[in-house]
Amino acid sequence: MSRSPRIPKAELTGLYGAMIKRMSRKMFGEVPEPVELAWHNRKVLNFSFGVGRKAQKWNRCDESLKSFAHMATASMVGCSFCLDFGYFHAHNEGLDVHKAREVPRWRVSDVFTPLERDVMEYAEAMTQTPVAPNGPVYNDKGELLAPADYREWIYLSSGLDMSYSERLLAMGHSMFSNVFVNPEAYRAFQRTGTWPDRTMLVMEVRSASSKGSINKNGHYQSGDVMGVEVHVKDSTRFNGGWAFFAIAGGAPAAPIPASAECYSCHRQHAAVDTTFVQFYPTLIDLATKKGTLSAAYLQDQEKGEAKR
């Protein structure tokens, strides 16, 4: 373990203890600390052994994926024994030990496939307390629950007084729009140039001020939130894969009807899928390099060039 246990380790005694010592040393080279701790309560120890034996019989999941998931969570909680166990398991089962060594640094290593990365990311999210997979969550009415911590997600960009319709130009006030995306979707986009299922893009609209404190020119964001909109990709729920939600006061929100103008606008002009990546400077270059720009966006660009 990464720290001293609160419970003192116990000496394994008797015939049963000798058997466990022999098996442990054969498998791991030494008696694992969790076994010495659980020896205080033989029922708990035997139960954990039983669960372990049953889990070993599960065969629906690829062995490598299971191994990487176990090791990723072990690294996250700081269990050195668990990492050693994972490595020995990979070695004994003929799995890729080079990848096993890279698990603690899987986010920066280039040896893993996209699927392996997704598995380790999900395993880490499910290990957190409370469980924290950043994706869409719905109530029994199919309404989207407002993501409470979206400001801790990946910030993409801000716009000032942006409007996609000429009839909205004369609003009479200025406003900023700040866009955030859940970290899992952002990392997937970094790898592929496209958004995966369960992507959530949150646009927070705040009022703009020009007079305050020592400011003499330009605009800054005030403390007033004027609205929150969420763009969700969930192909299991929505026709076309995407849906918009308008969050009011943090309450659950039903999808904006698919007949709304925002859907057709995004389909006709979005740079990637139905998202306005053209306004996210850290992503548009990446999408260009990955070759994932939409035909509609490229056509808009050609028209723009022709007018110049």
Distance CA 280, CA 171 (A): 24
Q: Does some domain include residue 181?
A: yes
With respect to residue 177, please indicate whether it lies within any of the assigned structural domains: yes
Q: What is the pLDDT of residue 225?
A: 83
Measure Cα distances from 172 to 175, 208, 238, 271 in Å.
10, 12, 35, 29
Domain end position, chosen among 65, 92, 127? 127
At 207, phi and psi to the nearest 5? Answer: -70, 150
Written in H, E and C, the secondary structure of 183-249 is: HHHHHHHHHHCCCCCCCEEEEEEEEEECCECCECCCCEEEEEEEEEEEEEECCCCCCCCEEEEEECC
Instruction: Grade residue 161 by pLDDT with cuts at 50, 70 and 90.
Output: confident
| Interval 198-222 mean pLDDT | 86
pLDDT band at 176 (very low <50, low <70, confident <90, very high): confident
Angle value at C-alpha 60, between 57 and 64, nearest 5 degrees: 85
Residue 48 is assigned to a structural domain of this protein = yes
Short-list 162, 154, 160, 205, CA closest to 180: 154
Weakest-pLDDT range from 138-147, 157-166, 237-246: 157-166
Instruction: Examine residue 1 and state whether it is found in any structural domain, yes or no.
Output: no
Statement: residue 224 has pLDDT above 90: no
Strand-by-strand arrangement of the 220-233 sheet: 154-160, 175-181, 200-209, 220-233, 242-247
Residue 140, domain member (yes or no): no
Secondary structure class of 2 (helix, strand, coil) = coil
Domain that holds residue 300: 150-307
Regarding whether 98 and 36 lie in a shared domain, the answer is: yes
Are 211 and 74 in a shared domain? no
Amino acid 2: pLDDT: 44
Do residue 103 and residue 189 come from a single domain?
no
Structure token pair of residue 177: 């729009």
Do 177 and 299 fall within a single domain?
Answer: yes
Residue 282 clears pLDDT 50, i.e. is over it: yes
Q: Judge if 290 and 159 occupy the same domain.
A: yes
Distance CA 52, CA 36 (A): 16
Q: Assess whether 215 and 284 both reside in one domain.
A: yes
- Final residue in a domain of this structure, among 127, 161, 195: 127
DSSP 73: H
Q: Are residues 123 and 213 in the same domain?
A: no
Query: How many structural domains is the chain composed of?
Result: 2
Q: What integer best gives the mean pLDDT of the chain?
A: 85
Looking at residue 216, its pLDDT comes to 79
Q: Is the pLDDT of residue 1 over 50?
A: no
- The pLDDT of residue 274 is 92
**Whether 302 and 157 share a structural domain:** yes
Mean pLDDT on 183-191: 89
The CATH number given to whatever domain includes residue 56 is 1.20.1290.10
Q: Supply the pLDDT for residue 166.
A: 60
If asked whether residues 104 and 168 sit together in one domain, one would say no
Is the pLDDT at 130 greater than 60? The verdict is no
For residue 97, pLDDT beyond 60? yes
**Band of pLDDT at residue 164, cut at 50, 70 and 90:** low
pLDDT of the residue at 137 = 86
Same-domain check for residues 66 and 180: no
CA distance 44 to 25: 21
Whether 104 and 183 map to the same domain: the answer is no
Per-residue pLDDT, 53: 81
What is the per-residue pLDDT across 3-48, written as a single tens digit (0 to 9) for each?
A: 555 678 889 999 998 998 998 888 777 888 888 888 998 898 889 8
Q: pLDDT value at position 207?
A: 82
Q: Before 130, cis peptide (omega within 30)? A: yes
Q: What is the mean pLDDT of residues 189-209?
A: 90
Confidence band (pLDDT; 50, 70, 90) for 283? very high
Whether 97 and 236 share a structural domain: no
